[in-house]
Amino acid sequence: MRAFLTVDDVTGLVAQQFGRDRRVAGLDRLTGGTKKGVYRIRLDDGRSVVLYVWADAENYWPESVTVPDDPFTDASGAELFVANRALLAGAGARVPDLLFSDVDRVLVEDVGGETLEARMAYDRAPLLELGRTLRRLHTTFGPGWGRPASVTSPGRPPEEMILGRALAHLDAVALTDGRVAAARTRIEDHLRGLRARVTAREEYAVIHGELGPDHVLISANGEPVMIDIEGVTYFDVEWEHAFLQLRFGPAYESLDPVDLDPARLELYRFAQVIGLIEGPLRIAGTDFPDRQWMLDLAELNIGKALAAVA
């Protein structure tokens, strides 16, 4: 049984941050997190704050086989959150204000519960503002590619790392799904063919890494606020846009994207299809509460992968 936080677990933190006369009026564990716990702490003066907690009980993901220079796998923890939050803010993105942090907890402002996904149904202004924010990020360049705190001169280009990552995912999926196993050689050939069309590049910008409309909250002032920021990386902007296209659908063009390399975008789009089979199947084998949703997501992307090599 997983043990989640109770009011008693946050009472000391509230007293430390807001004074000993402040009381916890309520604690709500918010849904959606798979690697960390997200809690809204309601105070007795009507205010609220959000607490992120990284702990084994909050993490549903089992270990996976991956490539050593993959900056996206295991992108989790308070240290990454704090560093990435500073980078995003410095590059012109709206992120939650930081109130407190230690080795496994971060306390931030509560910007509200409305997502961009919900707001887009009746107000497109935050979507357009997000597009402007992304252009600022995607023209903020780093000295190389990788996590901002540890950017070095990597031994191979990112497209080669992504190929290796996708092949590792393919191997894992082929062990559990007969359809993918039967098409494994064709899928690998397709991946390698896409990689062969990608030309060299040495310019890498700030990307969020997993930015869907559910990872953007709307502030009281109508600003788009980025959350789930532990995967922020200096990388090819095409990786970001492959995911944006997937998650925003017809609304994607309203983001006014920067110029993209079509060959690099196509490789990354297909690599993400393979990743969206492996990851959901892996977490569906745990006690994750919405297991069927993950299985459905994997099935959708199995269909995409098989269609691409039919």
DSSP string computed for 4-47: ---HHHHHHHHHHHH-TT--EEEEEEPS--SSSEEEEEEETTS-
Share of the chain above pLDDT 70, in %: 99
The tens digit of pLDDT for each residue in 245-255 reads 999 999 999 99
The tens digit of pLDDT for each residue in 104-131 reads 999 999 999 999 999 999 999 999 999 9
Rg (CA), the chain: 20
191 occurs within a structural domain: yes
The tens digit of pLDDT for each residue in 260-285 reads 999 999 999 999 999 999 999 999 99
Please give the pLDDT value at position 62.
84
Please give the pLDDT value at position 80.
92
Q: What is the mean pLDDT of residues 77-93?
A: 95
Q: The tokens 């299809």 sit on which residue?
A: 273
Beta bridge partners of 235: 205
Please give the pLDDT value at position 224.
97
Q: Is the pLDDT of residue 149 over 90?
A: no
Where are any strands of DSSP class E within the chain? 24-29, 37-43, 48-53, 98-101, 105-109, 205-207, 216-218, 224-226, 233-235
137 occurs within a structural domain: yes
Please give the pLDDT value at position 85.
96
Helix (H, G, I), strand (E, B) or coil at 126: helix
The tens digit of pLDDT for each residue in 157-209 reads 999 999 999 999 999 999 999 999 999 999 999 999 999 999 999 899 999 99
169 occurs within a structural domain: yes
Its pTM stands at 0.94
Q: The tokens 């008693």 sit on which residue?
A: 8
78 occurs within a structural domain: no
119 occurs within a structural domain: yes
Please give the pLDDT value at position 134.
98
Please give the pLDDT value at position 153.
58
The CATH number that applies at residue 164 is 3.90.1200.10
4 occurs within a structural domain: no
Beta bridge partners of 108: 50, 98
Q: Which two tokens stand for residue 17?
A: 């941050």
Please give the pLDDT value at position 66.
77
Q: What is the mean pLDDT of residues 87-103?
A: 96
Q: How confident is the model at residue 231 (pLDDT cuts 50, 70, 90)?
A: very high
103 occurs within a structural domain: no
The tens digit of pLDDT for each residue in 174-187 reads 999 999 999 999 99
Q: Is the pLDDT of residue 32 over 80?
A: no
Provide the number of structural domains found in the chain: 1
The residue segments making up the domain with residue 213 are 111-308
Please give the pLDDT value at position 65.
73
Please give the pLDDT value at position 81.
95
133 occurs within a structural domain: yes
Q: What is the mean pLDDT of residues 20-28?
A: 96
Q: Is the pLDDT of residue 22 over 90?
A: yes
